[in-house]
Amino acid sequence: MKVYLIRHARTRDAEDLLTQRHVTPIVIDSETLDKVEQAKNKIGEVDVVFCSPLQRARETADLVFGKGNYKVLDFIKEYGTPKEIIGKPRKFATDFWEVKHKKDKMDINWTPAGGESFASVADRVERLYQFLLKEKKTKKHQKIAIVGHGTFFRHFLLRVADVPWTKYPQLIFDVLRKLKWDNLQVVEVEI
């Protein structure tokens, strides 16, 4: 079964170099519309589309697949961003992770105030993985698109690669975070 992971379109927060909130609209400009067409061309027809419940993902799914032509799955939302950094400049967020909580962030069970632990994200990723395995077993859908978020998808790729979830923090911060995953970029995965 082919699964197409589509990162949501660029948002107003990203354009302003702010750490994203859960409710933030996408930017619809010529660059976004060009990328929508590129995504459509790469994916082609799919059997079903699943989407994060967050506004930026739903707006992106509307653009790529048509208004409301998707099913929302609440467990594929982005990681719970710590309250302390929401809406703050990227420099502030970088200092939060790289200075203030450099050691904490490597503990899979550490939960920042208002945020989410790696263990919690891994649980949601596992839900998606098991959900997709059931979809595959039914043979109802052979091509699935999922519109969601870069960080969540990075975690998901680790699960697909069968990496033990205890290694997620190290790999996310040292390797996967450095991999560029542009807005509206499509990554194809075989399940």
* Structural domain spans, the chain: 2-190
> What's the fold here for domain 2-190?
Rossmann fold (3.40.50)
Q: What pairing do the DSSP bridges indicate for beta strands 71-72 and 2-7? A: unpaired
Q: What is the pLDDT of residues 51-87, one digit of tens each?
A: 999 999 999 999 999 999 999 999 998 888 898 988 8
Asked if the model's pLDDT at residue 13 lies above 80, the reply is no
pLDDT-derived band at 17 (thresholds 50, 70, 90) equals low
Please, what is the average pLDDT of the chain? 90
pLDDT-derived band at 109 (thresholds 50, 70, 90) equals very high
pTM (predicted TM-score): 0.90
* Residue 13 and residue 154 in contact, taking contact as beta carbons nearer than 8 Å: no
* Residue 188 and residue 4 in contact, taking contact as beta carbons nearer than 8 Å: yes
pLDDT of residue 99: 94
Contacts of 62 (CB under 8 A, 6+ apart): 68, 69
Dihedral angle of Cα 33, 37, 38, 41, to the nearest 10 degrees: 170
